[in-house]
Chain A
Amino acid sequence: MKKTLLILLSCSILCACSDKKAEKSAIMKDVMSVHEKVMEVDGQVIANRMKLDTLIKTNAITAKDTAVMLSKKLSTAEDAMEDWMHKFDYEQKGKSDADVITYMNDQKKLIMQIDSQLNVAVTESNLYLKKIKTK
């Protein structure tokens, strides 16, 4: 009886471990795929910010206020992305599976927020760049 209990206990511990490993691997993969997607949006953010900065610098537009505001918004989103990248620790050396899962879930939330920030900045600047008439 004791033996059977021991075997059952070992089995359940092993299963829990492999579940945690799979969960850790899935969330790490998930964060990375969000990161890749966000990097593409980041490329558009930089391109639009550069377009606006050129318009402002070359005095190609009469009213600069909106362009300046949008460029700042893009810059802030760009900085948020950079800050996240600098702080993000993918390797998580010496951390337990449970700690890595918690960390990665938190990071996913953070990068999703940055993704929204980047997307808003891109959408608004795209609209402006489409309708703006240069001198």
Chain B
Amino acid sequence: MKKLIYVAALFMLAGSACKFNNSDNKALPIFGNRQPVTKTVNGKQVTDTIYQTIPAFKFVNQYGDTITGKSLDGKIYVADFFFTTCPTICPVMHRNMLPVYNEFKSNPDFRIISHSIDPKYDTVPVLKKYADKMGITGNTWWLLHGDKDATYTIAKSYLTSVQEKNPRGNYVHDGYFILIDKQKRIRGTYMGTDPAEVEKMTADIKTLMAEPDQKTAK
């Protein structure tokens, strides 16, 4: 009888562990800086958390169209930093990004933005040629040209999350993909040169798309 109770307890424990894992999978963590804000609601003090968001920006894409933070309103997106003459990690990163692009290109609520860190060379026509060579069409994947300092400034916001993950990795040229939600919060960082991490990112994008506040956000 005792044995039976032990076995039943073991099954219950295993069951609850599985449930816990499932609920864990339903929402991605939120990265970046955060601030607790206390406000009074109906006479009661409530503490809320304000998460870091990606600040406003203005760049130009491979079609010569102006792209701002507003262009990404209501979109879940992945950001990265690259340059077209990069012989090492960038070709690997973008080869790994292609399956992500192909998987989500028909989803109007998804974007990929790749900021060039070499605007002197990567002009709009150069970015268009690069896009054509990669087979990028339409508006799912924007290759962005802009002021070098503005690119490095916005990179700092994206890379806070990378610093959390790896305090030594603070460089724009590290090859990270950063997943941003519709509220412009950082929801994941992935090593773009590692196919396994990019596969995890694809799964995480699906998880994020299924989160209730992402489904309803405009």
Residue pair B152, A82 in contact (C-beta under 8 Å): no
A43 contacts B120, CB within 8 Å? Answer: no
**One of B82-90, B127-135, B195-203, B208-216 contacting the partner:** B82-90
Total of A-B residue pairs, C-beta within 8 Å:
38
**Residues of chain B in range 59-115 having any CB-CB distance to chain A below 8 Å:** 83, 85-89
Q: Are B173 and A85 in contact (CB under 8 A)?
A: no
Interface of chain B residues 111 through 158 with chain A (CB within 8 A): 118, 120-121, 148-149, 152-153
For B148, what are the chain A residues with a Cβ–Cβ distance below 8 Å? 46
Residues in B whose Cβ lies below 8 Å from that of A43: 170-173
Closest to B171 in A: A43
Whether the pair A32, B87 counts as a contact (CB closer than 8 A) is yes
Count of residues in B whose CB is under 8 Å from the partner chain: 17
Could you list 19 further interchain pairs (A-B, Cβ under 8 angstroms) beyond the known A40-B171, A46-B152, A85-B83? A32-B88, A36-B88, A36-B89, A39-B171, A39-B173, A40-B173, A42-B173, A43-B170, A43-B171, A43-B172, A46-B148, A46-B149, A47-B152, A50-B149, A50-B153, A53-B149, A82-B118, A82-B121, A85-B85
B residues in contact (CB < 8 Å) with A: 83, 85-89, 118, 120-121, 148-149, 152-153, 170-173
